[in-house]
Every structure is written in C-alpha cells, then in structure tokens.
C-alpha cells in the first residue's frame, strides 16, 4: 500500500504562481510568475502531485463570486495544459470572519494559516506527507504547512522553477 503514495507540492497561488495583484479574479490581469509554468511541469515530471491552496477572501468581501475563481482556475489549467503541465486540484477558501457577504462571513479551518485545505487534499489524494511540502510567500502559508505536518518554503521572487528544482531533488 505504501508504494502507491505520491509526494505532493502545495502551491499558494497569489505571489507564488502569479503576480499578487489585490483580489485578483480577472483573466486579463493575471500574470504568471517567472518560471511558474515550468515549475509546475517540473513537479509533474518528478512524479509529484501538484495542488493549489489559496485564500480568496474577495468572495466574502463581495468583490467577486466563486464562479469567477472557477473561471480563472479553469483558464490557468488550460494555460498549463498547453505547456504539458497540470495542477491536480485547486482548493480555495472564500470565507473571512469580517466578510460583507453573510453566507461567507465566518471563521473557517480552510483559511490559512489553518490547515483545512491541505488536510482535505490529504484525505482525497494518496499523498506521501514525509516527502511533500508547501511553497508560499507569506507566514500564513508556512503556518498552514506546519499545522498539517508539512515543511513550508518561502518563495520571495525570482524564477519559481529554479526555486523548486532543488526542493524536488531533496525529496
């Protein structure tokens, strides 16, 4: 049974895969981080699962709808597919305790720094936790990783592929 487990990389989205522009949901404002598509492909080629875990409080704040997130993630997936890369699952948290939209105004264990999105993926996919890690750009990403029993790596800037390759080699 243990042989069927796969290592995984859990990517934060804004600031890691794409340039973080406040409350991004429009495809025409989306900019891939340098080397991001190549990084996802490197993760795929190394036999790792690739996941996105992203807080999307803009939904709770009334700035956009969940459908907008799905549209953007579908577009990202098609861009990746065109380059032979894939994300195995996109997870997001639309909730925020200070939200303006009633049905999204709440504390959620899926909102980083809580590990809920990671834990849900661990329940759904056969992940080898010991060889998996989170790549984020904020303390909340690293805290979520730690709470889920994973290592967290902070990506600041530069080429994401160059950042990821040594981490995959260590796995």
Report, as residue numbers or ranges, the catalytic residues: 12, 14
Task: Indicate the DSSP class of residue 77.
Answer: H
Query: Mapping DSSP to helix (H, G, I), strand (E, B) and coil, where does residue 67 land?
Result: helix
Burial classification of residue 133, based on how many CB atoms lie within 10 Å of its CB (0-12 exposed, 13-18 middle, 19 or more buried): buried
Residue 30 sits at φ, ψ, to 5 deg, of -80, 130
Torsion over CA: 126, 34, 45, 82 (sign)? positive
- Going by C-alpha positions, the residue among 161, 14, 169 that lies closest to residue 90 is 14
Burial classification of residue 67, based on how many CB atoms lie within 10 Å of its CB (0-12 exposed, 13-18 middle, 19 or more buried): exposed
Torsion over CA: 57, 144, 2, 37 (sign)? positive
């Amino acid at each position: 049974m243990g042989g069927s487990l796969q290592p995984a990389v859990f990517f934060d989205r804004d600031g890691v895969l794409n340039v973080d522009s406040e409350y991004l949901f429009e495809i025409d404002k989306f900019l891939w981080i340098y080397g991001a598509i190549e990084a996802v492909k490197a993760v795929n080629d190394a036999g790792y699962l690739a996941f996105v875990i992203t807080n999307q409080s803009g939904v709770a704040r009334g700035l956009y709808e969940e459908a907008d997130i799905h549209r953007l993630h579908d577009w990202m997936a098609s861009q990746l597919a065109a380059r032979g890369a894939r994300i195995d699952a996109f997870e997001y948290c639309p909730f925020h305790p200070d939200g303006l939209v009633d049905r999204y105004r709440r504390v959620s264990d899926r909102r980083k720094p809580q590990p809920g999105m990671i834990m849900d993926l661990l329940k759904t996919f056969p992940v080898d936790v010991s060889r998996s890690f989170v790549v984020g750009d904020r303390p909340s990403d690293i805290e979520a990783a730690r709470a889920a029993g994973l290592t967290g790596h902070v990506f600041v800037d530069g080429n994401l592929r160059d950042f990821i390759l040594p981490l995959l080699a260590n796995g």
